[in-house]
Amino acid sequence: MPLQKNFRKIPSYIKEKIARIKGSNIKVGCVARLRLADIAAGNYEHLGITLDGTSKPVFPESVVPDASAGRYSDANANGEEIVRRDLPMVTKSFTVEAPNWGDYYNGTHDVDFDRQVYQREFIPPTENEIEIELVGEEGSAQDKSLVFKFAMDQPLKKGTKDFEDELLRLLNILQENVGDADVFDSKATLKEYLQTKYVNWEILPPGERDTTIARIVAGMPATDPETEKRIADRYDFFGKMKPRAFIQGHGGFRRYFGAQFSDDLVAFENMEYGNAVYVMVKDWEQSSQKTKQELLASGKDGADFFRVVHGKDWKARVKDIIKKHRN
């Protein structure tokens, strides 16, 4: 199952969240929705998550991830060999089989030779486990999803010498296997885990441009002039179409902004890393809780929602969709 690639470094939003956590011990974890159809297809067998004959989920309380999930999972299960380029090279002897008189038809003989090589160090496997807990289910009978809480079994203490190295390693193990990763206080409740997955919407009245923009910017973990300029541009764009209200959504460190034009017509996007506007024309509050992959799998682009990539004419396309579906 294709999941997001590894983190090359600890994401800035993870560092910002760690700085806000008051406790000294943290855990790497996340809450994820797994579609029943994907579980049935065997996409999560590497975690031991399957279905029995009655479509009831079967899963272990914890599992050492399969080595095939990625290089961090491989090192976790099998260990890894490190090339020590910081140490002096050493002489190593090699033996190869060579043909007699240049022709294997005449038989072979061994040839020994020496070569300078880097020293290597074997790092034994840590065999960290992913703890698994089923916390709920969502969707209809035709498109049901199960909500799982995942957490790495190893707590980390802030400020220790190897804290960032271990944090990056555990984040990547979870990322390789679940496609998501976050950090929490080691004593975090299930409610705190769930808050990172579900988007809560705040309705903001129209006609208060500077106040609304300031509230959106203040609610984001970090902004730069370019992001603030983009927020102001979206406000002005939506404002010209006279929305019923502006909306601000937040879940964990995800920030959404958009406009509501009728009960079922809402246009929004993620202001931190979005590359498209999503115009929802039915069940927008429920649809907004889904990941991009879940939305594309469960609904029909062009019918239940419209995804408009930020190309040259994206504003004209959004205007046409709003005009068509407003009433």
Segments of 186-270 assigned E as strands: 200-204, 245-251, 254-262, 265-270
Write out the two tokens for 190: 């299930």
Write out the two tokens for 33: 């929705």
Return d(Cα 75, Cα 68) in angstroms, integer. 10
User: Residue 132, SS3?
Assistant: strand
Write out the two tokens for 185: 């206080």
Return d(Cα 72, Cα 67) in angstroms, integer. 8
Query: What is this structure's pTM?
Result: 0.64
Q: Going residue by residue through the chain (327 aa), what tens digit of pLDDT does each one get? A: 445 578 888 987 788 889 989 899 999 999 988 888 889 999 999 999 999 887 889 999 999 999 998 899 999 999 988 888 888 888 888 888 888 888 888 889 888 888 888 888 888 899 999 999 999 887 766 778 889 999 999 999 999 999 999 999 999 999 999 988 899 999 999 888 887 776 667 777 787 788 888 877 776 655 678 878 888 888 899 999 999 888 887 665 467 788 899 888 999 887 765 678 889 888 787 777 776 666 776 666 667 788 898 888 999 999 999 999 886
Beta-carbon contacts of 92 under 8 Å, excluding residues fewer than 6 positions away, are 114, 115, 116, 117
CA separation, residue 99 to residues 94, 95, 111, 222 (Å) = 17, 13, 10, 66
Beta bridge partners of residue 145, listed in sequence order? 35, 138
H or E stretch covering 14: helix 12-20
pLDDT at 220: 65
pLDDT at 269: 83
Return d(Cα 147, Cα 53) in angstroms, integer. 20
| Cα-based angle 4, 7, 9 (whole degrees, multiple of 5) | 165
pLDDT at 253: 47
